[in-house]
Amino acid sequence: MTVTEARVAALQARATDLARRAAAAPLPRPFLSVPLGRTVGIVAEIKRRSPSQGAIRPDLDPVAHARAYARGGAVAVSVLTEEAHFGGSLDDLSQVAAAVALPVLRKDFIIDETQILEARAAGASAVLLIVRVLSPERLSTLSAAAARHALGTLVEVHTSGELEAALAVQPTAVGVNARDLATFTLDLNRAEGIIARVPAPIPVVAESGVEGRGDVERLAAAGADFVLVGTSLARRSDAETGVRALTGVERIQRG
């Protein structure tokens, strides 16, 4: 049993309570709403560590960082809630959702509807669904569950071959991750090719590999509508300035 499967198994005893709390939670803020803006939106991430980078900012204060992201012009906040590999928690998510007016994405290995109930109860606006770790049937089931609970979906792909499955579930947005989950290698060229293939009405979020404004400009040229920025912002003491330096890049509509 994987770490995620063990977490989900432990959640089952709380499923009824989670459903009650999710139903009582306020209506989520819209996630990456259309029509899209003139410039590429910055989705800034709360992230303490990662398998590829190791320790990034173990002492990160999620509320202080999220507020700085909001002041800097981020359009949404992504919160890693996976503990074993990323040092996150659901408390981080609930604290951030209560502290800022931006939509908040729960970023985790979502494999079961109880995790969607958890996200809704904690104040999330959307959940991440990763094509590589879900069967097409499970992806469809979880996407439908998110919709029932008024949550958006960021459906993440790593290869062109995964794109069809992502599009089939009518995601709120497609995430194109330039980092391979198995090898942790970064390939922006591959990501650019996938971004260009996403139909224009569907928002695209470019994930991983964004260190500076030049990377945002490069991904914008490929057709990205948003970029999700984690490590380079999470490690900064002045996160507000870090976000502001990435904003204002003109969005180029895909053909």
| Active site members | 45, 47, 107, 156, 177, 207-208
Cα Rg for the chain, rounded, in angstroms?
17
* Whether 62 contacts 95, CB under 8 Å: yes
Secondary structure of residue 173 in the 3-state scheme: strand
CA dihedral 81, 87, 91, 95 (to 10 degrees): -90
Cβ neighbours of 126 (radius 10 Å): 26
Q: Which two tokens stand for residue 62?
A: 């999620």
CB atoms within 10 A of CB 253: 8
Q: Strand runs (DSSP E) across 110-151, as ranges?
A: 126-130
Instruction: Give the C-alpha separation, 183 to 223, whole Å.
Output: 26
3-state SS assignment for residue 164 = helix
By residue count, the chain amounts to: 255
The residues near 191 (Cβ < 8 Å, ≥ 6 apart) are: 176, 177, 178, 206, 208, 209, 219, 222
Structure tokens at 16: 């009824």
Under 8 Å between Cβ of 44 and 77: yes
DSSP-derived secondary structure letter, 238: -
